[in-house]
Chain A
């Protein structure tokens, strides 16, 4: 190629140059000819807001006593802040926003009703009351028919993905971890989710079994779509045809086909640890194991790599605010998120499991320990020093930048 420009024309040299000369004029003409009207609401943004509302404003329409320790709260839109419920995928959860005497916290709860139920106008949350539980005690005392409840849009990744998961799902549930699987069972039986569900449900007490009647009914009515087996870990049980003990590899092998089935797990952290090993021993590849978000790590001490030096110690966190800063105290066995909540700083959060990134916070100084199953940080975030406070425990004094809570309205 020579340095001299080649001889070329598109439609004629003069014409090409003239067109160039008139380019801006032509542009101005096109613009001037357009209407000076405002555009209507963009429908894709409207669809996005219907699918993923930042907040849903709900009221309790009914409280259903399930077991001695579990209640189902049926939630409907309040008609003012929310007119409809966001549709979701069976297995997803809501992050409930609570103001417990000035402490602004969140808790995730799986939606135990089905997506079709949401179209009919309600979500069910089935919540187990924990002894000494900070949130559940409050919910028990204050959520009555007519109470206002604020929640996120549907969140979470534990749903059936037809391209990935086979048609044959096996759910391993422990205790109140069965809630997302009732949602799936209904959706499958209603014919809105093309798969089959085999539920292996571990419980510690006959009185604690959730949705037992409904499961029996669905299994009877839709034997090709849904079946279940109870696994009772208590000494005495009157559940007919149940397995005894825990969800071990032999139970799994007996009630499913580890060579082809897709396993979905939901339950307390100890159960994840246990069933994870059992599935691995059965040779189930990672690809066919899904696990609900881990939940908050309650006893970080049980992890071998938790630094002993931090055990039982108190730390201080210097929290940079938009203007100025505050110092809050923290302890080595509570997450940084809880420390911030205890200080009434209302940090954002949703999954409380290191997965959703809502609580993402810049760590300026100090070290944290991060739970092994809960490190959902991106590579660049690690480099920059971002942490997920819900899954991070202080092992030294810290300095952080408090993230804005998008929900906090000044007025």
Chain B
């Protein structure tokens, strides 16, 4: 590809998703000359929103974990503070409302550890001891992870074993395995597992560490969303990044990451521009990068492909957005976050992600319950989400696509009405529906996947972290997204971006020394 570079940067960030924006801002803050390239004409990746008529719909975020308050920030809050990214937050009122009609479950679970345990006891008398135990484990894990972060990934093994033994003991197990050891009754699991769909694999496989820390952080600090949708967060990053001297270039797709002798030397855009850099923070999925973006392809190590092929790709999404012409009060929509499940058997619910019948899961959010003025007075924004494995959509032809979307959306509306007793159908003023191809269209997501790799115990946060050095296949190339070390989720992707940026700075320093 010759040496005719058009421009040169200390680092190039490929894709302005959550991890990319956080990483880019961290690098710029550290004084590096950074170029952030984004194929879409807006920043944010999944962190975005769109306007239909009088409504502005949130594209993806249900709730952001671990923000906390200005006075008492959580991990994500600290990240925003340290990067100087100023986001206006709104707070989610309750943890969740879980409705499982077939099992007569309809509970509203509050944030706050004591409040959560109390509510549990009310709904399932006698549950207090086992829930308390579960949360004590979760707390220990949360604290162990904080310790790991404070030690920058080099913990004192003795301290770990002494202070956080259960973190180590549970790390290789699934949620089911740990709850079995706790002798947790089914009636407790039914309610405790509600957040399972935020990770999206059955509890027999879902890694305990990840689930426990997520639940703990939600209960401890509640959840937040940006006041102006996740666009408000994305553009706060953009403003900060530009102010730090960073260069943003939208509408620019990176075609190739150019590699020589196992190390990044530059990138090429779809427009043919050649940009010289030795460091790439990459939001594009590893399967995509190793299956066509590395140039020349002979620079792709066999183990990188094995690494991709060994793992299972998680789910894509399907969302119905509704702008309703009546207020939440008029409609009787009392809560922010609804989990409506046909069953509590997560194996069964997960299996249904692979077929296109009537969905058995929905995670529905009424935005007005966190941001009352998110839509004009007398209106409501409701969004209903389910997950799909890509294979469910494999044989869909374009001419059946729109009909199919409407059919599934119809089921979701019907199921919501049945489960909650609220009538919404006659109030739909605006509607839009996304399906796996929608995610592929707007973000280029591999198979439309929004959740990266599935988080089995062998491929959860901890093993990814511990194997990190062995699994950096190309010098200077780091992955900063939900596909990265921190696994899925908004705050995970943000923190992954920041971590990988800090590691890039270490790489740069080391190079400086050897050069």
Contact = CB atoms under 8 A, between A and B. Distances in A.
Interface string B408-452: 011001000000000001011111000011101100101110000
A411 B251 contact: no
Contacts of B308: 39
Given A11-B173, A47-B436, A286-B325, 7 more contacts: A24-B463, A31-B310, A34-B307, A42-B287, A45-B437, A164-B429, A355-B51
A377 interface: yes
Nearest to B164: A5
A410 B273 CA distance: 7
A23 B172 contact: yes
A35 interface: yes
A44 B390 contact: yes
B198 interface: no
A131 to B, nearest CB: 33
Interface in B126-159: 132-133, 135-137, 139-140
A36 B52 contact: no
B168 A161 contact: no
Nearest to B39: A406
B93 interface: no
11 contacts: A5-B140, A5-B163, A6-B133, A23-B458, A37-B309, A163-B431, A164-B429, A164-B431, A378-B229, A403-B250, A408-B271
Interface residues of B, number: 96
A31 B437 contact: no
B447 A44 contact: yes
A89 B231 CA distance: 28
A33 to B, nearest CB: 7
B73 interface: no
B303 interface: yes
Contacts of A406: 39, 41, 251-253, 270
Contacts of B466: 23-24
A265 to B, nearest CB: 13
A322 B271 contact: no
B30 interface: no
Interface in A122-158: 157
Contact of B406 (A19, A28, A161, A286): A161
Contact of A411 (B272, B398, B399): B272
Interface in A16-45: 16-17, 19-20, 23-24, 26-28, 30-39, 42-45
Contacts of B252: 404, 406
A51 interface: yes
A300 interface: no
Nearest to A26: B458
B399 A119 contact: yes
Contact of A357 (B39, B41, B291, B448): B41
A385 to B, nearest CB: 9
A358 B251 CA distance: 10
Contact of B427 (A19, A287, A409): A287
Contacts of B51: 355, 376-378
B467 interface: yes
A400 to B, nearest CB: 13
Interface stretch (B13-21, B234-242, B341-349, B361-369): B234-242
B390 A409 contact: no
Contacts of B235: 380-381, 383-384
Interface of B: 39, 41-42, 49-54, 56, 132-133, 135-137, 139-140, 163-166, 168-173, 177-178, 181, 228-229, 231-232, 234-235, 238-239, 249-253, 270-273, 287-288, 290-291, 297, 302-303, 305-310, 316, 325, 390, 393-394, 396, 398-399, 401-402, 406, 409-410, 413, 425, 427-431, 436-438, 440-441, 444, 446-448, 458-459, 462-463, 466-467, 470
Contact of B394 (A34, A43, A86, A410): A43
Interface of A: 1, 5-6, 8-11, 13, 16-17, 19-20, 23-24, 26-28, 30-39, 42-45, 47-48, 50-52, 86-87, 89, 115, 119, 157, 161-164, 285-287, 322, 348, 355, 357-358, 360, 376-381, 383-384, 403-406, 408-411
A409 B56 contact: no
A51 B448 contact: no
B484 to A, nearest CB: 15
B448 A378 contact: no
Given A34-B309, A36-B306, A39-B308, A10 B173 contact: yes
**9 residue pairs, one from A and one from B, having the closest CB atoms:** A34-B310, A410-B272, A16-B169, A48-B440, A48-B437, A36-B302, A404-B251, A87-B398, A287-B429
B455 to A, nearest CB: 13
B212 to A, nearest CB: 12
Contacts of B140: 5-6
Contacts of B171: 20, 23
Nearest to A13: B169
Contacts of B427: 287
Contact of B309 (A39, A44, A51, A322): A39
A379 to B, nearest CB: 4
B291 A38 contact: yes
Contact of B448 (A5, A45, A87, A408): A45
Contacts of B305: 35-38
B42 A357 contact: yes
Contact of A20 (B56, B172, B399): B172
B116 to A, nearest CB: 13
Contacts of B253: 406
A401 B428 CA distance: 38
Nearest to A355: B51
Contacts of A286: 53-54, 325, 429
> Which of B251, B297, B429, B448 has most A Cβ within 10 Å?
B251
A45 B271 CA distance: 20
A411 B269 CA distance: 12
A405 B251 CA distance: 6
A48 B438 CA distance: 7
Contacts of B401: 47, 51, 87
